[in-house]
C-alpha cells in the first residue's frame, strides 16, 4: 500500500482520481447570491416580455 496519503483515491486504473483536498482557487458564491441573481433575471425577463412582447 502506498505511504503517500495526499494523492487521493484512485479508481479505474488511475484514470479518475478523487482528492480529499478542497480547491482554494475557485470562486465561492454564497447560495443567497445565486438565488437573488436568479430572481433578478426572472424579473428582468418578465419586464422585457411585458414591455416588448
* pTM listed for this prediction: 0.53
Q: What pLDDT sits at residue 25?
A: 83
Q: What is the 3-state secondary structure (H, E, C) of the chain?
A: CCCCHHHCEEECCCCEEECCCCCCCCCCCCHHHHHHHHHHHHHHHHHHHHHHC
Task: List Cβ neighbours of 9 (8 Å cut-off, separation of 6 or more).
Answer: 17, 18
pLDDT digits (tens, 9 = 90+) for 5-49: 555 555 555 566 666 666 678 889 999 999 999 999 999 999 999
What are the residue ranges spanned by the domains of the chain?
24-53
Q: What pLDDT sits at residue 9?
A: 55
Higher-confidence position of 53 and 43: 43
Q: What pLDDT sits at residue 24?
A: 76
Amino acid at each position: 500500500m502506498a505511504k503517500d496519503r495526499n494523492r487521493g483515491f484512485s479508481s479505474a486504473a488511475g484514470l479518475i482520481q478523487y482528492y480529499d483536498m478542497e480547491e482554494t482557487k475557485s470562486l465561492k458564491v454564497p447560495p443567497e447570491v445565486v438565488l437573488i441573481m436568479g430572481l433578478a433575471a426572472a424579473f428582468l425577463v418578465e419586464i422585457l416580455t411585458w414591455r416588448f412582447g
